[in-house]
Amino acid sequence: MRFAGSAPLAAVALFACAGAGAPPRAPDAVAAPAPQQPVRSPLSLADTSPPRVDHDVPCPVPPSERERPVGPLPRHLGPPQPFVPSPVDRWRPALEGYVRRVTLGNQKPLNASAVCFAVYLSEMHKRIHPLFADSFLASLDSLPPGDPMNDAQLTTRLEVVLTRDGHIQQMGVVRSSTLTAFDVAALDSVDRAQPFGPAPDGIVSPDGFVYLAWEFHRNEVYACSTMGVRPYLLASPPP
């Protein structure tokens, strides 16, 4: 019903609500702030970034070749295996009357190839050390003190000739320790550690082989360290 001369119904209704003690209106919900991501310090960023690889090494090998592991990991890189020497007859040509292929008159300076050799020999050592030091030298701990094999001065030097793919093409003793068993252990260690992986072009001599001399020591400090390795580049094929 509408009365003449009265206020509009909308105004009356608003007045009635205000005077009736209606409950206050709830405030609009406020969205919760989004969780902030943790701020990483510059140090943590540096720690998780990939290592920098320097490809400016003066070595005539593509970066892909330098980063690739040198050959498959040998089975001997697990727990040290007991040393079982090969029969002496197997190594007779390497022990008696071996004719070395590297001579004073057929070498040339290494120059930039020295860097390539250093990388390759380091990978070779990773394969030889578990066999010679961790297996053979460790097996000598049970010998009595007076055994000739306990002479800390024992040293044998091998000439090792490798193919391009890292297999042994020829190997022999060029300086004996005077104990055949010690010489055989050095020969066995290198033989069982092959193949050593493809050789960089920079260390391959003109005849297609890689040449080096490697010393093996009874002294565990030196053992088969690369400090006792002499790499060679041949200027002419061996006689």
Domains of the chain are 96-142+149-239 (3.30.1150)
Q: Are 183 and 95 in contact (CB under 8 A)?
A: yes
Which pLDDT score, from 0 to 100, does residue 173 have? 97
- Which H/E stretch holds residue 232? strand 229-234
pLDDT at 87: 87
DSSP 218: S
C-alpha 208/C-alpha 162 separation (Å) is: 9
Q: Which residues of the chain have pLDDT under 50?
A: 1-22, 37-73, 76
> What is the model's pLDDT at position 34?
53
Model pLDDT, residue 5: 46
